[in-house]
Amino acid sequence: MTFSEVSGHQRPLRVLQRVLASGRVPHAQLFWGPEGVGKELVARALARVLLCADPGARDRGEGCGRCGPCAKCDGGSHPDLHLVVAQKASISVDDVRRLQETLAYQAFERGCKVAIIRDAFRLTREAANALLKTLEEPPAGVYLVLLAHHRNQLLPTLVSRCQALRFDPLPEAEVLRLLTERGVEAATAAAMAAVSGGCPGPVLDADPEEFLAADREAGEVVAQWGRQPAGRGFALASGWAADKDRLGTRLDGLERHLRRRAREQAVSHPADADGGELDALAGLTTLRYLLERNVNAQLALDALFLGMLGHLWEEGP
């Protein structure tokens, strides 16, 4: 991935190219913005420039694309580019210590190392405190990029030691362009772009038909707010729990529609904006947390839909 291949994000890209040219790339950065918006792609493009063997790469703000390190970055095999991802839903203190040991060794090439921490909000408190030490005094030539959906998700002590860069959702037209480039049929691509929220990641990875079906279903569930018997909620929970392959797409759809409804409520009825949507969104976060820990899906979904009782479902049979 190169900066010129990144879609949108002109503002953060300009900032990064400016610091690259000035030779003052911050050793700890936080890229924050919604899931699937493209933060990791930009972090990888930055790593490619930092690790490129061409001395002019930083001035140009782009890796040469011809040297060994560029090829290794493109192939995902550069020994000085480290990606930290959560194991079992959290990033533990052991994960951070392993990273610190790796960063303490001399770099294989070019004398610098880059570590990207995906979903840094998954750092446990102990892990975050361990990482603080590296952020305060990074070893020479080490660059850390933390990724998160929102800066408020991280401990303030972590955020204050990072140069934070915000990533905004892309315009719908840009997501549409990316989808049609991938060969998605025009009407399907338009429908997907319209519900993408400007985050191309999830829609580009999805099966178009499955994505739109799940989105329609979630839209119907939320549109029928308060007009359904409770039994319908439990029937839905059983159906969703039984189809694990589609559960993630369905929950994503539910979250999108709940967020949209919460936004619409806040605009149209600001006095009683929380008609339960925020509770439902919090319930959804808990549900995902439980599912990642292999809690019985049926029980977790029952709890989610029970939590929506009185908002989404009418009490009674």
Binding site for Zn ion (CB under 5 A): 52, 54, 63-64, 67, 70
DSSP state of 35: T
Residue 163 tokens read as: 């140069």
Q: Which is nearer to Zn ion, 47 or 221 (CB)?
A: 47
Least Cβ distance, residue 53 to Zn ion (angstroms): 5
For residue 63, the minimal CB distance to Zn ion (Å) is 4
Nearer to Zn ion, 75 or 156 (CB): 75
Residue 24 burial by Cβ neighbours in a 10 Å radius (0-12, 13-18, 19+):
exposed
Count the residues in the chain.
Answer: 317
Shortest Å, Cβ 71 to Zn ion: 8
The H-assigned helical ranges of the chain are: 10-22, 39-51, 57-60, 68-75, 93-104, 125-136, 156-159, 172-181, 186-195, 200-205, 208-223, 230-242, 244-268, 277-292, 297-307
Q: Which is nearer to Zn ion, 68 or 310 (CB)?
A: 68
| CB 177, min distance to Zn ion, A | 28
Read off the tokens for 86: 């959560």
Q: How far is the CB of 2 from Zn ion (least distance, A)?
A: 10
For residue 145, the minimal CB distance to Zn ion (Å) is 19
- Closest of 166, 197, 199, 122 to residue 32, by C-alpha: 166
Closest C-alpha to 112, from 2, 45, 27, 191: 27
AA identity, residue 313: W
Q: Which of 62, 215 has the CB closer to Zn ion?
A: 62
| Cβ closest to Zn ion, residue 112 vs residue 204 | 112
Q: Which is nearer to Zn ion, 64 or 190 (CB)?
A: 64
Closer of 35 and 54 to Zn ion (Cβ): 54
Kindly state the DSSP code that residue 312 receives in the 8-state scheme.
T
- Minimum CB separation of residue 163 from Zn ion in Å reads 24
Amino acid at 227: R
